[in-house]
Amino acid sequence: MTEHITTVAGVAVDTRHWIGGRRVPSAETFTDLSPIDGSSLGEISRGGGEEAAAAVAAAKAAFPGWAATPRTERARLLRAIADGVEKRLQDLAIVETHDNGALLRSHRRGVMPRVAHNFRFFADWSLRLGHEDFETRGHTNHVSWDPAGPSVLITPWNAPLMLATWKVAPALAAGNTVVLKPAEWSPLTASLLADIAAEAGLPAGVLNVVQGLGAEIGDALTSNPDVRRISFTGSVPTARRIAASAAAGLTPLSLELGGKSPLLVFADADLDLAADLAVEQYDNAGQVCLAATRILVEETAAEEFTRRFTEKASALRQGDPRDETTDIGPNVHSRQVEKIDGFVRRALAAGARAVIGGGPDTDLGGLYYRPTLLTGVGQDSEIVQEEVFGPVLTLQTFSSEDEAIALANDTRFGLAATVATGDPERARRVTARLVAGTVWVNCFFVRDLRAPFGGSRLSGVGREGGDWSFDFYCDMKNTVTAPGSGQPHG
């Protein structure tokens, strides 16, 4: 038994899959490395087609019973999982910090409490889900949300447990069974979630967790004809492969694919606030899909904005994410750092200038990339058009509102946008014309689970949150009843 247990800062984590209510090993493993110092966190079971098929089969077998479980009972179990998350909040925070390098203080204060909130919110929302009946020539129309079936959820490494439960919670609340495939660079808290769910009393097979390399196990999951929903957060190239794999079964997809979001700073803005918003984009070492990495500043305010931004950014403390005083930790993996540095080096070679940063912090180690701001970049340049997913921002200027909007919308993406202005009328005009799933005005990263979340263009397909999550994870049914035939329920 102990050969399948790894200990992370005193927290025991099972490295096997969780399939059908039991732990299942694989013949092969992969090494999980900590971005803090490159140390091994354990040898993780490396699943493939066999494990994928077993997990989907377990989810299929458990689906009829879970779908028939009353909403109130499903909600009770989800709240019990939330209770379990809160009881193990410290363990989850410690393990995830070691696994993906994000700040321990953020995990303790915000991320893990949000994990518990995800379960409670969707448990409660499922109980209020409904639509008023309506009449058609004396006939009654009754709309219901029927569980769709086994759901495959493929999640990223930048906020592993929070983003996983953002999908797991509504899928379970809807009455679906789940196969969760966490990112191979940060798989450990998904394993702990399986333990928590089992301790809460979730029936065997309702939640399954399979680990492995995406290229080896992904297609086996997404092409399985018994899978009825696929939700994925990650890159555009991977999403294309998933969509092609799912096409044969016409399996519905929800895709959140990152972005290249703008921060528009008008001269009438509170420039201190605008600079704070810009510095906030370095959160999680820049590994945030919503990050406004393209700063667009009105020409007349550019010099003063840059001065204030540089002063604030220079005060950030980069270092060990376990230290309470650290503001920026490491990036997740050497391959990610190589990707980030490649973008920056090519931009500098093309004529960009690094106002701050411009390379790794070699004193801290190979995975700590210095917060970087580049100027002198063209709108068509790679650094402006492609997602870097690291602590790298660009700054461009504009002279008019129309130019600001044109620059903001001139990428293939459309996930989010942030606007800094002191003019409410301008805010209304500009936000109405921006292509984005979420727009923040004089704020950033204020998220409410009642609101729709998703992107336009290459930033994704579909919306999740509130009713939108249940619309995706359910099959919508309209029952039309003739007069005098009684009323349907559910």
256 as an active site residue: the answer is yes
Distance of alpha carbon 264 from alpha carbon 427, whole angstroms: 10
Identify the active-site residue in 51, 96, 256, 464: 256
| Burial bucket for residue 178 (CB in 10 Å: 0-12, 13-18, 19+) | buried
Number of C-beta neighbours around residue 248 at 10 A? 9
The C-alpha torsion from 341 through 346 and 349 to 354, rounded to 10°, is: -50
DSSP H or E stretch at residue 173 = helix 160-173
- Taking the alpha carbons at both ends of the chain, their separation in whole angstroms is 45
Distance of alpha carbon 244 from alpha carbon 144, whole angstroms: 30
Q: What is the DSSP letter of 203?
A: P
289 as an active site residue: the answer is yes
Distance of alpha carbon 369 from alpha carbon 446, whole angstroms: 26
Identify the active-site residue in 51, 96, 184, 289: 289
Starting at the edge strand found earlier in the chain, the sheet holding 416-420 runs 353-356, 372-375, 392-398, 294-298, 262-265, 416-420, 438-441
Residues labelled as active-site residues: 256, 289
